[in-house]
Chains A and B, each alone.
Chain A
Amino acid sequence: EAQVTQNPRYLITVTGKKLTVTCSQNMNHEYMSWYRQDPGLGLRQIYYSMNVEVTDKGDVPEGYKVSRKEKRNFPLILESPSPNQTSLYFCASSLGGWEKNIQYFGAGTRLSVL
């Protein structure tokens, strides 16, 4: 089954404790992206990747890191989480650029930073 898998689905942590949210897709997609969803703000892009070892900042990259060492994986790293990073996070992938291909989303990771 074609899918984007995020782990964990729920995470509670404390300020300053490094964490990683994993994302994996089994569709051989080139494009992958991370979004955060906050009430009244919609989905905001954090980082995106157009291929292995190619990443770029989205609209809200501060406080986040990403890496794309393999085509299927695109982890999101919070080196020192803060309470303002409490949010619902989505990973997404598409075959090519967003303007040409359907973007598939994972089920989401709800993060709480205390």
Chain B
Amino acid sequence: GENVEQHPSTLSVQEGDSAVIKCTYSDSASNYFPWYKQELGKGPQLIIDIRSNVGEKKDQRIAVTLNKTAKHFSLHITETQPEDSAVYFCAGAGGTSYGKLTFGQGTILTVHP
């Protein structure tokens, strides 16, 4: 089945800096890669996703890039703000594990004012 590895496990940045979180996946047939943000005491919420036929997707201050050849994808947050502080999860789906969504281990992002 699919295996998703996420790094780093913790990330601390100053307000206004950029933050990058990276994930690798094992199933070359996976075709959908969402990113979720989990705030304290809440369930994860989708913030951006990318499909395997696209190399990059941007939504205001967040962007995701996908390298199918290397089987890795990354989340980029620019001009970080304290409210960006949360746990971020990457995930992979589709391919040979239809119906299953496999998550990475999570990254605790802290943005210092």
Contact = CB atoms under 8 A, between A and B. Distances in A.
B54 interface: no
B89 A42 contact: yes
A48 B99 contact: yes
Contacts of A4: 43
A42 B42 contact: no
A interface bracket (residues with beta carbon within 8 Å of B): 20 to 34
Given A43-B44, A103-B34, A105-B44, A56 B104 contact: no
Sorting the interface of chain B by its residue count into under 10, 10 to 19, 20 to 34 or 35 or more gives 20 to 34
A107 B93 CA distance: 22
A97 interface: yes
A107 B42 CA distance: 5
Contacts, number: 67
A43 B103 contact: yes
Contacts of A42: 6, 89, 103-106
A50 interface: yes
B43 A106 contact: yes
A33 B91 CA distance: 15
A99 interface: yes
B38 to A, nearest CB: 8
Interface string A83-114: 00000001010000111101101111000000
Interface of A: 4, 31, 33, 35, 40-45, 48, 50, 56, 58-59, 90, 92, 97-100, 102-103, 105-108
Given A43-B91, A102-B46, 16 more contacts: A42-B103, A43-B106, A45-B100, A45-B102, A45-B103, A48-B100, A97-B93, A98-B93, A98-B99, A98-B100, A103-B34, A103-B46, A105-B43, A105-B44, A108-B41, A108-B42
19 contacts: A31-B99, A33-B101, A40-B105, A41-B105, A42-B106, A43-B89, A43-B91, A48-B100, A56-B99, A90-B44, A97-B99, A98-B32, A98-B34, A98-B94, A99-B32, A102-B46, A103-B46, A105-B45, A107-B42
